[in-house]
Structure 1
């Protein structure tokens, strides 16, 4: 149930009245109100999220898992396909260390499991760029991968096989860190590659604040928001490290 604040009005009338109003507005088909994914990029992005297994489904044929969409949305177009494209990820979980001995582009360190809010959450605007718990881990281990139990596909990866699964930080100098995304390639039902993409560098000042330092080997994407998201995720990780009891996972 949605909160009452989500509604401006609740109007009840004979269906014929609504049909007449719709016809006057030129709304004569379902797609006029609910455009298909080929016309609606937001819906297309949401439908591109990984599918997740449905637990407890008895299958007399054998171990054949059943999946549902990661976000269950009403669909008004026939989206059934008998053989799914490799771009459809049927994600069954698992940690990176279960599949790979090393992470491409990551110089080394430890992996820490963090809740999925790390990827999906958003702190208040103007959050402080101070990460003492993370920095302590970096000084001890050199690098840390913060891995979430889920995958997310951002708009720049629509139609591809790549998903973000967390963030990775490594200590380049005593007061310089590199922050990038932990990425996986997931065609079909298996993760077959993992790596850390090129991100931003941050210089840590005496007051503990992380400030971006532009370098020649920065990520060449030319877009700020993915890297700002990495900082947001790291802020959530900092709170998780300080007190994990405030998190559901």
Structure 2
């Protein structure tokens, strides 16, 4: 049963959970516990398959639980892609409780990080992430609809961050040109530097990320370096530094 169709008495019964783990025993235990919580559960042992299911069945899942260490694209990459394309809450699972790993998961957008063996008491409360996300979503959509407004955090970053880098490169190239050109570049840099203080990071839109993925797939994982990816993407004002940072994410 879809979360949107449940009333206050029924929720969270029927919440639709996609569980992802390459360990069959862990996946079976997770599925059993989730069903005891009266959630509707779909399972897969491949993160790639999970991503395909999400892309093919948009709005048919309310929450994703994925193991961090997967043999294909990995839990962190799945987390990134889901955040870019679906904006669904994602919970990461791991047998490794290293604080650095936990912090990486949270800073990459995970709404929770559960240690194995997971307990049913923890799973009984995961529905709260769905409710919280649904309350936040309208505000996020307003931000994306007003990308040209400087007081919003997300939308404008891609253009400003890239133009700042490009402006600095252009200035270096024109250092020996006429004074008139130098003055124009300095003015542009000053404006761009002011903007970059507000929007220092590139925001990877779905379209931009898809171009990135297409370039990586074309080159192959072993040969996909920042310069090669940048050349294939052929996106104006995108820099090698932007691509390298996204490649390491």
If the length of structure 2 is used for normalisation, what is the TM-score? Answer: 0.22
If the length of structure 1 is used for normalisation, what is the TM-score? Answer: 0.22
User: Higher helix share goes to which structure?
Assistant: 2
User: Higher strand share goes to which structure?
Assistant: 1
